Amino acid sequence: MNQKKILVVDDEPDLVETIRFPLEMEGYQVLVAQNGEEGLNQAKRESPDLIILDLMLPKLDGYKVCRLLKFDEKYKHIPILMLTAKAQEKDKLLGKETGADDYMTKPFDIDKLIEKVKFYLTRTT
């Protein structure tokens, strides 16, 4: 079976581990980037099956990372789930405008996140 790759882009190590462990238990390969620039480069190098992206990141914010990937023919097919503390409606709208496939706010339910991951990964197979 071909193991699906998920890139988690977040600058909070505790949160990354909270996400990484359950995803690995589900059988996914989890890649991690701790700032927007690293996330963008890793996305282009690894071409993951899905990206979980924070918005408030050092170097490049999540909106820019999402926009750069979604407006590039080579990467626009990769589902992007924004996972952020920004919960206002205008933030969600901006997330959708930049091309995010989904938007979840922190704190979040890990089971719901895994459900969404499975949903988007089954759509891309």
Q: What is the DSSP string of 35-83?
A: SHHHHHHHHHHH--SEEEE-SS-SSS-HHHHHHHHHTSTTTTTS-EEEE
Identify the weakest region by mean pLDDT among 22-31, 35-44, 83-92.
83-92
Confidence of residue 91 (pLDDT cuts 50, 70, 90): confident
Q: At residue 81, does pLDDT exceed 60? A: yes
For residue 124, what pLDDT is reported?
54
Domain assignments of the chain as residue spans, ordered by start: 5-123
CATH tag for 5-123 (out of 3.30.110.70, 3.20.20.70, 3.40.50.2300, 3.30.930.10): 3.40.50.2300
- The predicted pLDDT at position 13 comes to 95
Supply the mean pLDDT for the chain. Answer: 93
